[in-house]
Chains A and B, each alone.
Chain A
Amino acid sequence: MLQLNHTPMYKFTRLGIRIDWPLFVLILIMSFLGLFILYSAASQNQAAMLRQVAHLVSAMGLMVFLAFIPPHKYKNWTPYLYFIGLILLIAVMVIGKIGKGAQRWLDLGFFRFQPSEIMKLAAPMMMAWLVDKYKLPMNHKCLVICLVLLVLPFALIAKQPDLGTAIMVGIAGGCVLFAAGLAWQILAFALGAVAISAPFIWHVLHDYQKKRLITLINPENDPLGSGYHIIQSKIAIGSGGMFGKGWLNGSQSHLNFLPEHKTDFIFAVCGEELGLIGGCVIISLLLLITLRGLFIAKQAQSTFTRLLATSLICTFFLSGFVNIAMVMGMLPVVGIPLPLVSYGGTAMLTFFSFFGVLMSISSHPVMFTDEHH
């Protein structure tokens, strides 16, 4: 069964560096394109640029470091990482309660970080670990435990409130279950349940929440509220046309009509200045990186690595998809950044840590510890 003679492509074992070169090259292209767009979005603010370059360099360092660690170590650490993440989430909530305000950050003095970001990695790892422990095919007991351990961080993060991140953690866990062969019937049942309960949910929603959903369909309805973002970003993108207004020439982005144009709405800047071509390049890069990631998942020979790889790359793709769809007014406005492009160190570190783990998996297709247990 195990292809022990398999040697992964592009592995520089002699240097001790385990890099998946096709993935690395694609990531580099997308990141540089991101810097390019950011330079314009930040109104050629060099300080912001330098900070983002620093984010990028440190994120790459993290990636190389994580790629170096063999996957069985990740597997051994999984429960610890998960529970530490959970405890930190609770800590953040408690501190927030005391400080009387929404809180996502944990301030360590020299730097602040969001425990919810750890969960983006730890939650799918925990799911994969559990599925692996209970052996495939997945039984109901395993499924229930997985769901409980997924709902916990989801609820904690959603309560922060950071619905965007909570949804991403939920998706990451869901992807593990899907890849683990969750029965289609259960999937269909879950979707059906959501569809049936939708009218009831609508009923218990607050007025302003209903308004937000109505705004999605008709943003002109609420030009002062969330509709403003969508209207402005659609104008920015639509006015870009085929080839765009040219780099640094986007009027919408620079006249401050476009809110959050460095972070969540950066795709609108790309659409305005680089046009359909630029937008397609970003989407293609997103897809290509994802396909390479899925290929790595396919090559992975142990349950844990395969599920983890699948989940990480799915999270990456779906973050990008949700962000772009939101900016184009196809999904409600939730705070999810565009991977590798949006300004911000936290998201950068998170996604590069995903890639680090993916590369670790790709360079160790066989996880020998699987056999020892």
Chain B
Amino acid sequence: MKRRLFKRIHKPAAPTVKQTSDFRLKVLVLLFVILSIGLVVRLAFLQLYQYNHFATLSLKNQISIIPIPPSRGIILDRNGEILAENRPVFVLEIVPERVPKLDDSIVKLQQLIPSINEDDISRFHKERRLHRKDTAIVIKTHLKLNEVAIFSTHQYQFPGIQLKAIPMRYYPLKKQMSHLIGYVGRINTEELQSIDNVNYQGTNSIGKIGIEKFYEDTLHGQVGYEQVETNVSGKVIRTLFKKPPVSGKKIYLTIDSKLQAVAYKALKGLEGSAVLIDVKDGGILAMVSRPSFDPNLFTNGINSTDFNKLLFSNERPLFHRAIRGLYPPASTVKPFVAIAGLNKGVIVPQWAIYDPGWFRLPNVTHKYRDWKRTGHGVTNVKRAIMVSCDTYFYQLGAKLGIHSLSQMLGQFGFGKSTGIDLPEELSGLLPTPEWKVKQKKMVWFPGDTIITSIGQGFMLATPLQLASATALLSQKGLGYQPHLLAKMVDDAANETAFKPISRNSIQLDNEDYWSIVHEAMQSVIESNEGTGARFGRNAFYKVAGKTGTAQVFTLSQNDHNKKTIITNKLLKDHSWFIAFAPVENPEVAIAVMVEHDTAASQVARQLLDAYFTNAKQEA
């Protein structure tokens, strides 16, 4: 106690500003002297203590380290047919640092090989600015054999320019798989920032879209390197040490390229998409979007003429309709709406309505018309699906309400992405009152529910979403996320099979509801009254399906019989067809969408025929 008091009284005055400042300067002097001594000690350690070690290394240091890029994993279909492979291509590379007069050399090179054009040169310069001066930059790819010969004889005139055979991605099926497999292209500035630069040394290309992008890490592999002794001009004398690269894994897809080819052919001349899915595990057997493009154009950087042609074409060949095409699902949504109604108890299977050809909400004069002007007469749920009775579903929707409706449709996967292993998928749109208030700044009208229940209005879905929902329907609420990957195989033939991810199952109060809808969908195809006549009633397997017609152009209230006036192709309706087969023990589900044409069910028929013919042959 005493001591503390003493201290407080005799506490020395706080140091003045000047004293503090002088003291700080002294601290800095001391710190800097210590740091300098640290540097000298480190220098002495390197130059005296480790001198022998480094002197030896320096004598040997004609050593340079050369990256060995891994070979990219190939992509195959379920039967082992190659979908993407690497083919050797001759390229000319320039190491800018080793070329004494770069511009002169390029001019000389151009005189020797006239196929090097201004595009190549400007791309070379662009690329050059992104890399260290000692990296080899490609100036010309796909050299012809005579060009290879010419350059080889003149090689001595071009120090720092080297001829190399490098593997280049090639897609043998060209247009058939393009959206799905995607393509690789030259690494751009943005990608350069996000990738592991070391692992991509010596690699020029990277997956841009599709499977090539989604499984980039798997396909790319691990870079290796080689320590080599070189002479002054950089020529390799011998290899001292080699760490081999680890090749990218082979990827097997669930796709069957034979079915893919059938689907591609069936959609010839049309704009549309077809998706065939294995209902037992969610594997995609075929997924086509037409028109298409040749992915091989992109592997070496597409030129601007070709690209603009693809980009500005009215048919939009770059557009992956199967996963990015958003269309009103139209009548194909009816089986799912029926499930919702049955399960909620607002309809019972025996319950029938009389359809006069229109429906009216209480106290509203607006008539919602059936597609058939005279109406379908007395209709129960099975018949409503079979003849695609709009009036029945208007009533059903009105009773069900938008919340129950969108809740059940959500369970079937509408409005969310399916989770397929492709990077570009869109999630479609499942409208709810909350969504409308938020996005459209408008309240939800009862009429919105009415048209949603026949798949028009705001609702949008992709062909993949419909295929996947149909698969779930066929399996009575059990199913898997759609996927393309079957297995990955590394160099040592170790297989990693893809484990299908199961979806949240749908539990109905009464399992019979499933069968009711299945039977109704079967009658769509088989009954004389069914709307599936275009599919044909003579298939050698049992099919359950549903048609759909998505309106592109809305006729005004009383214009419905003027349909004939629509002659402009772009105003014609889209056609949908969904199905699963065989009915008793479903194996596959399908969704086909054709823009501005009625061909969807014929396309589906060809694809299902091909599937079951194949299956028969294998059995």
Contacts and interface: CB of A to CB of B under 8 A. Distances in A.
Interface of A: 100-101, 136-137, 178-181, 207-208, 211, 222-225, 228, 232, 234-242, 251-252, 255-257, 259, 271, 275-276, 279-280, 283-284, 286-287, 290-291, 294, 297-298, 303, 306, 310, 314, 317, 321, 324-325, 328, 330
B33 to A, nearest CB: 7
Contacts of A228: 65
A61 B296 CA distance: 60
Given A136-B17, A257-B61, A179 B25 contact: yes
A291 B36 CA distance: 12
A235 B58 contact: yes
Contact of B39 (A239, A241, A283, A306): A283
A297 B58 contact: no
Given A181-B24, A286-B36, A294-B29, A235 B54 contact: yes
B32 A317 contact: yes
Contacts of B22: 298
B615 interface: no
Given A238-B55, A280-B40, A324-B39, A291 B29 contact: yes
Contacts of B51: 238-239, 241-242
Given A178-B24, A208-B197, A224 B61 contact: no
B13 interface: no
Contact of B32 (A234, A257, A290, A306): A290
A314 B28 contact: yes
A237 B47 contact: yes
B25 A238 contact: no
B21 A179 contact: yes
Contact of A224 (B33, B46, B198): B198
A297 B25 contact: yes
B120 to A, nearest CB: 22
A224 B63 CA distance: 13
B47 A242 contact: yes
Contacts of B53: 238
A94 to B, nearest CB: 18
A279 to B, nearest CB: 5
Given A235-B61, A294-B29, A241 B48 contact: yes
A286 B42 CA distance: 16
Given A136-B17, A238-B50, A321-B35, A310 B28 contact: yes
A283 B36 CA distance: 7
B67 to A, nearest CB: 5
A294 B28 contact: yes
Nearest to A288: B36
Instruction: Determine which residue in B24, B67, B225 has the highest number of CB atoms from chain A within 10 A of its CB, and name it.
Output: B24
Given A223-B65, A256-B97, A286-B36, A279 B43 contact: yes
30 contacts: A137-B20, A181-B24, A208-B197, A222-B198, A224-B198, A224-B201, A228-B65, A234-B46, A235-B57, A236-B58, A237-B43, A238-B47, A239-B58, A251-B58, A252-B61, A256-B97, A271-B43, A276-B43, A276-B47, A279-B40, A286-B36, A287-B32, A287-B33, A297-B25, A310-B28, A314-B28, A317-B32, A321-B36, A324-B39, A330-B42
Instruction: Determine which residue in B17, B21, B46, B64 has the highest number of CB atoms from chain A within 10 A of its CB, and name it.
Output: B46
Report the 4 A-B pairs with minimum CB-CB distance, sorted nearest first. A238-B54, A239-B58, A225-B198, A181-B20
B299 interface: no
A136 B20 CA distance: 10
Interface string B397-433: 0000000000000000000000000000000000000
A237 to B, nearest CB: 5
Nearest to A161: B193
Contacts of A298: 22, 25
Contacts of A328: 39, 42-43, 46
A228 B225 CA distance: 12
B44 interface: yes
Instruction: Determine which residue in A239, A279, A317 has the highest number of CB atoms from chain B within 10 A of its CB, and name it.
Output: A239
A188 to B, nearest CB: 14
A107 to B, nearest CB: 15
Contacts of B48: 241-242, 276
A10 B132 CA distance: 48
B143 interface: no
A179 B58 contact: no
A152 to B, nearest CB: 24
A306 B25 CA distance: 10
Instruction: Determine which residue in B17, B40, B54 has the highest number of CB atoms from chain A within 10 A of its CB, and name it.
Output: B54
A256 B198 CA distance: 20
B343 interface: no
- Which applies to chain B's interface (DSSP): helix, strand, loop or mixed? helix
A84 B57 CA distance: 50
A224 B43 contact: no
Contacts, number: 137
A222 B197 CA distance: 11
B36 to A, nearest CB: 5
B502 to A, nearest CB: 32
Contact of B62 (A255, A284, A306): A255
Contacts of B201: 224-225
Given A228-B65, A317-B35, 20 more contacts: A136-B20, A179-B24, A181-B24, A224-B67, A225-B197, A239-B51, A239-B55, A241-B55, A271-B47, A276-B43, A276-B48, A279-B40, A283-B43, A286-B36, A287-B33, A291-B32, A294-B28, A294-B29, A310-B25, A325-B42
B147 interface: no
Contact of B28 (A179, A238, A284): A179
B46 A237 contact: yes
A234 B57 CA distance: 10
A225 B39 CA distance: 25
A228 B65 CA distance: 9
A213 B53 CA distance: 24
Nearest to B54: A238
B57 A239 contact: yes
Contacts of B232: 255
A287 B55 CA distance: 29
B44 A276 contact: yes
A275 B20 contact: no
B28 A224 contact: no
A276 B20 CA distance: 38
A256 B132 CA distance: 13
B196 interface: yes
A207 to B, nearest CB: 7
B132 A259 contact: yes
A275 B54 CA distance: 13
A324 B38 CA distance: 11
A357 B57 CA distance: 45
B564 interface: no
A181 to B, nearest CB: 4
B217 to A, nearest CB: 12
B47 A181 contact: no
Nearest to A328: B42
Contacts of A287: 32-33, 36
Contacts of B132: 259
Contacts of A271: 43, 46-47
B24 A321 contact: no
Nearest to A215: B198
Contacts of B47: 237-238, 240-242, 271, 275-276, 279
Contacts of B32: 287, 290-291, 294, 317
A137 B20 CA distance: 9
A276 B46 CA distance: 9
Instruction: Determine which residue in B29, B55, B67, B198 has the highest number of CB atoms from chain A within 10 A of its CB, and name it.
Output: B198
A279 B38 CA distance: 13
A220 to B, nearest CB: 11
A286 B24 CA distance: 20
Contacts of A306: 21
B111 interface: no
Nearest to B64: A257
Interface string B118-142: 0000000000000010100000000
B223 interface: yes
